[in-house]
Structure formats: structure tokens, C-alpha cells
Structure 1
């Protein structure tokens, strides 16, 4: 188990979320895309919005892909 997995396990246990799967890679990809193509403070906010979407029933990978696509569109439209 790497440090990220360990941290996620510790946090989810503390919050009583032991039966959830955390899509760490997708969350980190969204944060990277938003931070690099939109603005840095948008990264954690976008990750939170991703969490809200998943809590409302969205597929994590699909929601993450949509957010990343928006961030990448923003980058190309600013060129």
C-alpha cells in the first residue's frame, strides 16, 4: 500500500466510509487538468464538485472525464 492509499484508508475509516471506493487516479487527474488549464484554486473545488456528482449517482470516471474535458477546452479556447 502506498502513502496515498494509506491516507485514503485512514480518512475514509475516520469518516465512517469504509465501504466506499475512492477513485484517487481520476480525482488527481481532474485536479491536474483544472490546475494547469483553468486556475489552481479551481482544482480542489472541482474535486469537491466531482464528489457531489458521484454522491448524486454519477459514474466517477464519466464525471471526471467531463470535468477534465471542460478544463482542456478552456485551455485550448484561451490560445
Structure 2
């Protein structure tokens, strides 16, 4: 097991959730896509939004893919340098 596996197992136990139902790779990919293509603080907020959607019945991997696709098309602000940490 990895530290991530241990964390997810412990967090799920704390919240009464099934750790096998947590699509860790999809959540991590979503966070990466939003952090790199939109803005860094948007990653945890997007993960929360994904959780809300899943709680309302959305299929986790499909909802994460939709948000990742949205991030891929998000326009970069004019004049912002994506390599500049102050820009995010």
C-alpha cells in the first residue's frame, strides 16, 4: 500500500465511505488539469465540486473527465504568464 492508499482508507473509515469507490486517479488527474490549466486554488475546489456531483448521482470518472475537458478549454487570461507562480 502507498501513503495515498493508507490516507484514503483512513479518511473513508472516518466518513463511513467505501474506499474502493474512490476513483483516486481520476481525482488526481482532475486536480492536475485544473491547477495547470486554470489556476492552482481551483484544484481543491474542483475536487469538492466533483464530490458534490457524485453525491447527487453523477458517475465519478465521467464527471471528472467533463471537468478536465472544461479545464482544457479554459482561456488563459490576457497578459498572464502561465509559468509565473503569481499568475495562479
TM-score, length-scaled by structure 2: 0.81
TM-score, length-scaled by structure 1: 0.89
Question: How many pairs does the alignment contain?
Answer: 77
> Gaps spanning 5+ residues in structure 1: where?
none
Which is worse superposed, 46-55 or 19-28? 19-28
User: 1:30-76 CA distances to partner (integer Å, 9 max, x unpaired)?
Assistant: 000000000000000000000001110001111000000000101xx
Alignment of 1:24-43 (within 5 A): 24-43=24-43
Shift of 1:18: 3.5
Q: Secondary structure at the match of 1:4?
A: helix
| RMSD (CA atoms) | 1.6
Structure number with greater Rg is 2
> Gaps spanning 5+ residues in structure 2: where?
79-88
